[in-house]
Amino acid sequence: MRINKTKKILLILFPFLFGLNLLFAQEMTTPPPIQDPNAPEITFEKIVYDYGTIKKESNGTCEFKFKNTGRTPLILSGAKASCGCTVPSWPTEPIAPGRTGVIKVTYDTKRIGVINKQIIVTSNAKTQSIVLTIKGNVIE
């Protein structure tokens, strides 16, 4: 009898504790903004690129231009796409204050349908993560 009660209690508590663990894990993955007043700042010309309606197998490359509007060199540590059909590339050398750079994104236009993908750019800027978006529609 005692084992059955223990099992019931564990079955009730496990989903709650697991959900609580996920809640705290998500909070920890978002880095707080950097408080250093001299930290670099990344400013994009635009954070959404709209392909509009494009044909299958057409050029799926676009560019996101940015500028380091901070006081120290900007270092991009990565750009990660929300799926394998989107491939970003970014400058690996530091971007000096006042200088510009480009993140190139290539979408695989062999896939027909609506495009709505995100690219998370991480850096040493005051805002450490910025989400870029590509959207559009690929037709036959």
33-63: pLDDT as tens digits: 557 888 999 999 999 999 999 999 999 999 9
Using the predicted structure, report yes or no on whether residue 122 has a pLDDT greater than 80. yes
How far is it, in rounded angstroms, from Cα 108 to Cα 58? 9
Provide CB contacts within 8 A for 97, sequence distance 6+: 40, 68, 69, 70, 71, 72, 73, 74
pLDDT at 36: 82
How far is it, in rounded angstroms, from Cα 78 to Cα 123? 7
Which token pair is 12?
Answer: 């009730």
Which residues make beta-bridge pairs with 49? 134
Domain 42-139 CATH superfamily: Immunoglobulins (2.60.40.10)
pLDDT at 35: 75
pTM score over 0.85 = no
How do strand 76-81 and strand 42-44 relate by DSSP bridges?
unpaired
For the chain, what are the domain ranges? Answer: 1-30, 42-139
pLDDT at 26: 46
pLDDT at 38: 86
